[in-house]
Amino acid sequence: MALSGLDIYKLLPKTNCKECGFPTCLAFAMKLSQKGAELSACPYVSDEAKAALEAASSPPIRLITIGTGENKIVVGNEVVLFRHEKTFYHEPGLVVRVADSWEPEKIAEVVSQVDGYVVERVGMKLTLNGIAVENVSGDAARFVQAVQLVKQKTALPLVLMSANAAAMDAALQIVGPDKPLVYAATPENWQAYADLAKKYACPLAITDSGDLSRLGSLAEAVIKAGVADLVLDPGTRNLADSLASLTQLRRLALKKNLRLLGFPILAFAGGDDSTLEEQSILATELIAKYAGIVVLGRFDPTGIYPLLTFRQNIYTDPQKPIQVSPGMYKFGEPGEQSPLLITTNFSLTYFTVAGEVEGSGVPSWLVIADSEGMSVLTAWAAGKFDAEKIAKSVKSAGMDDKLGHRKLVIPGYVATLSGEVEEELPGWQILVGPREAVDIPSYLKTVWKAA
Amino acid sequence: MPVTVELPKEKWNGKVREITLGATPAQGGTRTSTVTVGGETTLPFLHFEGSIPHRPALAVEMQDVPPQDWSTTLLEAWDTAASDPVSWAKKAVELGADALAVKLRGTHPERQNRSAAEAAETVKAILGAVGVPLIVYGPEVAEKDNEVLVAVAEAAAGERLALGNCEDKNYRTIVAGALAHGHLVVAKTPIDVNLAKQLNILISDMGLPLDRVLMDPTTGALGYGIEYTYSVMERLRLAALMGDSMTQQPMICTVGEESWRQKESKVKDGVPSLWGDFAGRGPLWEMATAMALLQSGADILVLRHPKTIKTMRETIDKLMSS
């Protein structure tokens, strides 16, 4: 938790000696709180104050890296409970579980599909993030074979799941350099697992299917044994209990500054016996409410696409809304006589308009102007959606040979621009569309037809 | 050394208003069941911290005329039931609807342009066929909305229908109809905390008690602005729990309408193969939208697909058991 300038001031010598380069200790404290100065500039600061300030400046939820290279999963460092307060920073890793008890062909098939899964939304490529290999067989040799097979098929990060320390050690001998997540230390086996995590320098998950005090005790033991990079599995598996435990862990880290439990959370969204619907519902909750790693019990493209979309939505920075790429968008199979509409590239504006145009069933062309991510009215007021911009966007969309007409529908909120746009686009007829997107279908079916 | 972790609990001063839809014969209506929502004194499903006296309710969306623009996935699921409002209503109740959201699309001037009197007859017929409460929407054309909803309000006097939508530019006539005939209203605003508060104030200034106002913050579907709805709902709910009276209305979300409007739910061919199976995609899109909005405070989900109704009922069972 960041300290305020006054909190910092209380820790300083309060002698106003000016040796730090600031006129008073208070001014120095204020600058420190804004990260505009370094504490080392004060020659007289006490060790106690140093420790307090260092603790306050380290993140309340530790940043953890699983895997290496460009595919690595990086989670933690979250600072808020609600995304509108700032933003959620690190998207949870979505990991698909395979069992070493499966036939090798089945393991290879699932891993290849997970590895190759990519869908595109608003110009971003959405992918899955890793494979969890579970030692269901209990057999070390079989586990090692499965891990080897997975490693051949993908460069995605791994979660190694085994209750058998010997099996874990054997697997880590192969993939330890790839920094998999070791799952998991329990109150019974933690010493051996802490040793493995240290030996291979891998992050370690800890779990206790009891309460958070016991999880805290386990964290303390493992940290004292020298493991710094932890991931927490509170052991809750159903919707209501997971929501409660994940909310409590987030609050403990952020509001109570409890360093022992200030780590990303791993959670399971269903096992072998869950339906696709159950898995989707639980994973949706876990993405919204604080998971750092979500382990999916099954892979099914139909279920993956909504989850990747939801994760992208929730982790969008509320202060920097997604912008849609400017250009020409088609709805249905528009032809020469199809309507041509224009709006701005604020994502919500685009989605609202696109949804209505799509829903109208009238094949249409839609030009998206670069309004720097502003909605129609805001962009108009800011001069980012004026006659010149509209004309330029239409010209650069290259509609000349695609259209048999020269009619452009502009948003009703900028009706006042229609004359200017006609001047900018000689030979074009400018039609004023509805103010609200919801009226677009009716506009296209009646006014456009008659025009 | 054992660690003792004290579980953090917030102390909220506020409470969401309790609102009851529908009236039994003893209460002046004819409903055999009513729906009460709201009353929460904590964030969604945090049972360790406060009271959640009522489960979120499921309203099933239906129309007075067969839908023209619905996804084939939906049309196949409802099949012949959707050809007639009474059979549709009965089927929806069989599938577990706590309430029905009746859209009087047939009154739209560009559709069948049915009269207000015909619309009122349809609502009476549905009331006669099923015992659950109704939420009734006009054609969403301001003037016709007023005409239709006032006629419905009068014909169904005392039933505690919810009449929608009241919007900032068009609420007076609908509120007056609700006031005169013992109904509720749905106050809809475009994804904005202050506009939502303002409309609640305007409606309450007309004399309609706030325990008869549902708030629709406007739903953005998954992939189509859900993050805006999600955050506005969280902000509204936090404000309600912190004691801001004008944000304490239970929230209703038109999940079905928005998620089934999108390409993912409607378009079968010519989309990436990794979008998966078409028949399963639409319901999952609706379920994910519903689940996200339950987490941000939805009290009533308006749904379309039978599978979603079933899954969300089971989901709410699980979220309410603790």
pLDDT in tens, B132-189: 999 999 999 999 999 999 999 999 999 999 999 999 999 999 999 999 999 999 999 9
Decide if B285 is inside a domain.
Answer: yes
State how far the Cα of A66 lies from the Cα of A395, in Å rounded to an integer: 48
State how far the Cα of B130 lies from the Cα of B60, in Å rounded to an integer: 13
Quote the domain boundaries for residue B124.
34-320
Decide if B83 is inside a domain.
Answer: yes
State how far the Cα of A261 lies from the Cα of A88, in Å rounded to an integer: 19
Decide if B56 is inside a domain.
Answer: yes
Q: Write out chain B residues lying below 8 Å of A276, CB-based.
A: 280, 284
pLDDT above 70 covers a percentage of chain B that reads: 99
Specify the pLDDT at position A2: 62
**CATH topology assigned to domain A327-450:** Rossmann fold (3.40.50)
CATH class for the domain made up of A5-57: mainly alpha
Least Cα distance to B126 among B115, B137, B139, B111 occurs for: B137
CB B213 within 8 A of CB B299: no
Arithmetic mean of pLDDT, B15-41: 98
Q: Is the domain covering A64-314 a CATH 3.20.20.20 domain?
A: yes
Average model confidence (pLDDT) across chain B: 96
The answer to whether the CB atoms of B277 and A302 lie below 8 A apart is yes
CB A295 within 8 A of CB A132: yes
Q: At what angle do helices A165-175 and A190-200 cross, to 10 degrees?
A: 10
Residues in Cβ contact with A416 at an 8 Å cutoff, skipping those fewer than 6 apart: none
Whether the predicted pLDDT of A398 surpasses 90: no
Extents of the domains making up chain A? 5-57, 64-314, 327-450
The answer to whether the CB atoms of B322 and A255 lie below 8 A apart is no
**Closest approach of chain A CAs to the CA of B73, in angstroms?**
15
pLDDT band for position A377 (50/70/90)?
A: confident
Decide if B208 is inside a domain.
Answer: yes
**Closest approach of chain B CAs to the CA of A300, in angstroms?**
8
- Taking only the tens place, the pLDDT of each residue in A137-162 is 999 999 999 999 999 999 999 999 99
Decide if B273 is inside a domain.
Answer: yes
What's B114's domain CATH number?
A: 3.20.20.20
| Structural domains in chain B (count) | 1
- Taking only the tens place, the pLDDT of each residue in A169-213 is 999 999 999 999 999 999 999 999 999 999 999 999 999 987 899
Query: DSSP letters of B34-77?
Result: -EEE---SSSTT-TTTS---SPPEEEEEEESS--SS--HHHHHH
Closest residue of chain B to A116, computed from CA coordinates: B274
Decide if B11 is inside a domain.
Answer: no
A-B Cβ pairs (cutoff 8 Å, strict)? 179
Specify the pLDDT at position A316: 93
Place of tokens 């920075």: A317
pLDDT band for position A57 (50/70/90)?
A: low
pLDDT above 90 covers a percentage of chain A that reads: 72
Which one-letter amino acid corresponds to residue A186? T
Which of A257, A276, A331, A348 should be substituted to probe chain B, the one whose Cβ sees the most B Cβ atoms within 10 Å? A348
Whether the predicted pLDDT of A306 surpasses 90: yes
Specify the pLDDT at position A32: 81
Q: Which helix (H) or strand (E) holds A309?
A: helix A301-314
State how far the Cα of A36 lies from the Cα of A27, in Å rounded to an integer: 11
Q: Write out chain A residues lying below 8 Å of B164, CB-based.
A: none
State how far the Cα of B258 lies from the Cα of A69, in Å rounded to an integer: 39
Half-sphere exposure of A363 (CA within 13 A, CB side): 8
Arithmetic mean of pLDDT, A364-382: 90
Whether the predicted interface score ipTM is above 0.95: yes
Decide if B22 is inside a domain.
Answer: no
CB B210 within 8 A of CB B200: yes
Q: Which of A248, A313, A446 sits opposite B8 (nearest CB)?
A: A248
Specify the pLDDT at position A3: 76
CB A284 within 8 A of CB B319: no
